[in-house]
Amino acid sequence: MTLKHSDAYHDPQIARHLAKRITRTSRKPVRFMEVCGTHTVSIFRSGIRSLLPETISLLSGPGCPVCVTAQKEIDAFIALAREPETIVATFGDLIRVPGSGSSLQREKADGADVRIVYSTFDAVTLARENPNKRVVFLGVGFETTAPTVAAAILAAHQQKLDNFSVVSAHKTVPLALEALSDGEINIGGFLLPGHVSVIIGLDAYRPFFNACRVPCVVAGFEPTDLLQSIAMLVDQVESNRPALENAYPRVVSSAGNPKAVSIMNEVFETADADWRGIGTILASGLAIRDKYADFDAVKVFDIRLKPVPEPKGCACGEILTGMKIPPQCPLYKTVCNPMAPVGPCMVSSEGTCAAYYRYHGDG
Amino acid sequence: MCLAIPSKITHIDNEMATIDVDGVKRSASLMLLEDAAVGDYVFVHAGFAIKKLDEESAMETIRLLKEAAAFVDDLEADKG
Ligand code: SF4
């Protein structure tokens, strides 16, 4: 099998043609939301905003996992890093997110053992290699990441490790879409996240779509994937026929990845989750089942989450729900920048503020 | 986070695969995949293969892209 054909995903001529097609067909002014942070970055990097007609505005949604993590959860992570004989293992993005008084990075500089891992299995290996320490993995992410965390818990269970645990701050996408459509902003269509959909499949959005009847297209990440998906959304808008469509069939199927879903469901059950900027969304999170309670850091460390205010002046909440764009935040570029981030949207490589900053987005 | 480039499985040992990402060798767990064999192309997320690339659908996507692009060519031809 060759992958020569993948050139088509970057083909500037195809991209230009798709953009022309969008310009020709789009009449009604409409706002589309890309729900995934990786989409936000691809959209900026490829410059496709500049190819779109004025009728179409693209809003970035709550699809950067670090960005939607509640302030009290960040504070709990920092408290864990202060526990004696404890190694905190995390993906890289999280360590610079400011909590109420510190960040994991600052704790690390002060001597806490915070390790950045590439895979959840690396955290399990850390536990095996450090039997005298407690290793906690910070489980932040959507349905793409949750199965990999579940796999790590199953591996630790199999290896009978008693010094490995996970804080599950995972969030799930479909119910959050419902909350966004009910919000103050009128969203005319959703670009659905490609890699979350790899796991949950197109069918997982059906209840949301049936309830809200908003145009929805699962999109890939290359420039032509995104333009094609926008063209499909425009067709739905102009014909007044909302649909749930898949523009990324080479990776996303209707049923998703059943093995990953079953591993995720073996370890996790649905729970309410607090989203930064949105608040509590019922059943939009994942908690570790009682069966695996020994691996649940919330129980092992007896973590009590106390409500704390989000950073003063930071508009991350409004940015995550599409109500504002970064240049509308008074702190953007003045006080807040990637070297000195005030909120998580400026920290994460997938955060909207960071993307605006890096690619000089002006809206 | 996600490697959008499909990576080729070059070796499998138990449930761990060696994958080739544009010439760089990495390892990826196959625990989340139903079936995967040497030679398959997979999408990898944080050290786990999460999907086999579906070649037929990939070709279908290209066909759709080309069709959408051709639609513009037709319009332009119409305009003369
Ligand atoms: S620019 Fe900084 S302070 Fe403003 S919303 Fe973004 S992260 Fe928050």
**Interface contact flag, B60 A20, Cβ < 8 Å:** no
C-alpha of A217 from chain center: 17
Reported as a single tens digit per residue, the pLDDT across A151-163 is 999 999 999 999 9
Reported as a single tens digit per residue, the pLDDT across B15-58 is 999 998 777 899 999 999 988 999 888 888 899 999 988 777 66
Indicate the length of chain B as a whole number: 80
- Same structural domain for residues A270 and A161? yes
Residue A281: CATH number of its domain: 3.40.50.11740
> A330 CA to middle of ligand 1, Å?
8
- Same structural domain for residues A82 and A220? no
Mean of the pLDDT values across residues A134-161?
97
- Same structural domain for residues A47 and A74? no
Reported as a single tens digit per residue, the pLDDT across A72-101 is 999 999 999 999 999 999 998 899 999 998
- Same structural domain for residues A220 and A355? no
Give the pLDDT confidence score for residue A292 in this predicted structure.
98
In A229-357, where do the E strands start and end? 244-246, 268-275, 279-288
**Interface contact flag, A145 B68, Cβ < 8 Å:** no
**Interface contact flag, A195 B61, Cβ < 8 Å:** no
> A314 CA to middle of ligand 1, Å?
5
User: For chain A, what is the mean pLDDT?
Assistant: 92
Please give the structure tokens belonging to residue A347.
């920290």
pLDDT band at A275 (very low <50, low <70, confident <90, very high): very high
User: Is B39 buried (19+), middle (13-18) or exposed (0-12) by CB count in 10 A?
Assistant: exposed
Give the pLDDT confidence score for residue A243 in this predicted structure.
98
Of A243, A267, A292, at which residue does a domain stop?
Answer: A243
> A342 CA to middle of ligand 1, Å?
6
* Poorest-pLDDT segment among A59-63, A146-150, A174-178, B16-20: A59-63
User: Which residue lies with its CA nearest to atom 1 of ligand 1?
Assistant: A332
- Same structural domain for residues A234 and A265? no
**Using beta carbons and an 8 Å cutoff, which residues of B are at the interface with A?**
1-2, 4, 6, 29, 31-34, 39, 41, 43, 45-48, 50-51, 53-55, 57-62, 64-66, 68-73, 75
Give the pLDDT confidence score for residue A7 in this predicted structure.
66
Q: Which residues line ligand 1 (CB under 6 A)?
A: A 314-316, 319, 326, 329, 331-332, 336, 341-343, 345-346, 353
Give the pLDDT confidence score for residue A361 in this predicted structure.
60
Give the pLDDT confidence score for residue B61 in this predicted structure.
66
Per the domain annotation, does A307 fall within a domain?
no
Letter for the amino acid at A164? F
User: Is residue B49 a contact partner of residue B19, using CB atoms and an 8 Å limit?
Assistant: yes
Indicate the length of chain A as a whole number: 363
Per the domain annotation, does A77 fall within a domain?
yes
User: Which residue lies with its CA nearest to atom 6 of ligand 1?
Assistant: A353
Per the domain annotation, does A60 fall within a domain?
no
Of A222, A243, A264, at which residue does a domain stop?
Answer: A243
- Kindly report the pTM of this predicted structure: 0.90
Chain B residues near residue A258 by CB distance under 8 angstroms:
34
Residue with tokens 């994958």: B19
Higher pLDDT, A302 or B74: A302
Q: What does R_g of chain B's alpha carbons equal in angstroms?
A: 18
A100/A75 Cα distance (integer angstroms): 7
Q: What is the DSSP letter of A80?
A: H
Per the domain annotation, does A59 fall within a domain?
no
Of A217, A243, A269, at which residue does a domain stop?
Answer: A243
Atom of ligand 1 nearest to the CA of A318: 5
**Interface contact flag, B64 A228, Cβ < 8 Å:** yes
Residue A178: CATH number of its domain: 3.40.50.11750
Among A17, A21, A230, the residue to mutate for chain B (most B Cβ within 10 A): A17
B11/B16 Cα distance (integer angstroms): 8
Give the pLDDT confidence score for residue A182 in this predicted structure.
81
**Interface contact flag, A249 B72, Cβ < 8 Å:** no
Give the pLDDT confidence score for residue A4 in this predicted structure.
47
- Domain count for chain A, please give it: 3
- Same structural domain for residues A28 and A167? no
Give the pLDDT confidence score for residue A14 in this predicted structure.
84
* Rounded (5°) CA angle A43-A49-A55: 130
Mean of the pLDDT values across residues A112-119?
96
Sheet-wide strand order for A216-218: A56-60, A30-34, A189-192, A216-218, A244-246
Which of A65, A97, A64 shows the shortest CA–CA distance to A168?
A: A65
User: In chain A, whose CA is at the least distance from the CA of B6?
Assistant: A3
> A327 CA to middle of ligand 1, Å?
9
Per the domain annotation, does A250 fall within a domain?
no
- Same structural domain for residues A214 and A185? yes
Chain A residues near residue B48 by CB distance under 8 angstroms:
119, 147-148, 151
> What is the share, in percent, of chain A residues with pLDDT greater than 90?
72
Nearest CB to B31 within list A151, A222, A231: A151
- Same structural domain for residues A12 and A26? yes
Query: How many angstroms away from the CA of B21 is the closest CA of chain A?
Result: 12
Give the pLDDT confidence score for residue A289 in this predicted structure.
98
Per the domain annotation, does A96 fall within a domain?
yes
Per the domain annotation, does A308 fall within a domain?
no
Give the pLDDT confidence score for residue B58 in this predicted structure.
66
**Interface contact flag, B72 A17, Cβ < 8 Å:** yes
- Same structural domain for residues A123 and A163? yes
Per the domain annotation, does A305 fall within a domain?
no
A287/A167 Cα distance (integer angstroms): 9
Higher pLDDT, B31 or B77: B31
Reported as a single tens digit per residue, the pLDDT across B61-73 is 667 767 766 665 6
| Sequence-separated (6 or more) residues with CB below 8 Å from residue A292 | A153, A157, A267
User: In chain A, whose CA is at the least distance from the CA of B46?
Assistant: A119
| Sequence-separated (6 or more) residues with CB below 8 Å from residue A144 | A193, A195, A196, A198, A199, B1, B2, B45, B50
- Same structural domain for residues A79 and A222? no
Whether residue A202 is predicted with pLDDT greater than 90 in this model: the reply is yes
Domain containing A160: what range?
66-172+256-300
- Same structural domain for residues A189 and A166? no
- Same structural domain for residues A156 and A276? yes
pLDDT band at B74 (very low <50, low <70, confident <90, very high): low
Mean of the pLDDT values across residues A50-73?
92
Mean of the pLDDT values across residues A221-249?
94
Give the pLDDT confidence score for residue A307 in this predicted structure.
82
Whether residue A2 is predicted with pLDDT greater than 70 in this model: the reply is no
A330/A327 Cα distance (integer angstroms): 7
